[in-house]
Structure 1
């Protein structure tokens, strides 16, 4: 299954390569940050390239440090244990229902229990 999407994703270094590959395979434009990239660098690249940040890094859920309205979207994965199949199916379920405008300016927290959205 391939999604027609204008959504561009910036996968933090903590996102499994298999997840980035999965998202590419189903039609998303995914870039992966380099090892050791700090949060400020990641946020700057995401803003400059209009990318949604995809991460396990809890710093990105701090709305004072990273106000969602200033970003093209932030998806925080709170899935433990981080099983690839669970991560991939959760992302596919969320992203299949969304487009760029649905995600822009919002923080999505994905857990085993579902998705919470913050603005």
Structure 2
């Protein structure tokens, strides 16, 4: 089973980790990395990740409609209309795989929200 951090280029993963801690925006690079990843490996990694999640809560938390999530799981992640939702999934996947969420400072006002 491929992990997302294995499928995407190492430099992209490093930039992603840095962008979360430095509060910068690298969405275009993330989209390019997604589009340039080996499709079969990428599809396997995203399908495995989604299968391991509590799908209704996971999709709702990322504001992804059920139909779009199903289309992504069916291999349509790289189609234009699904790229934004695919990027959300990839960002969460990378955040969990790199354990970066434990290193982020959360504002006191947000401490009561589930994360």
TM-score (norm 1): 0.25
Structure with more of its chain in strand, by fraction = 1
TM-score (norm 2): 0.25
Q: Which protein, 1 or 2, shows the higher relative CO under an 8 Å CA cutoff with sep ≥ 6?
A: 2
* Structure having the higher Rg: 2
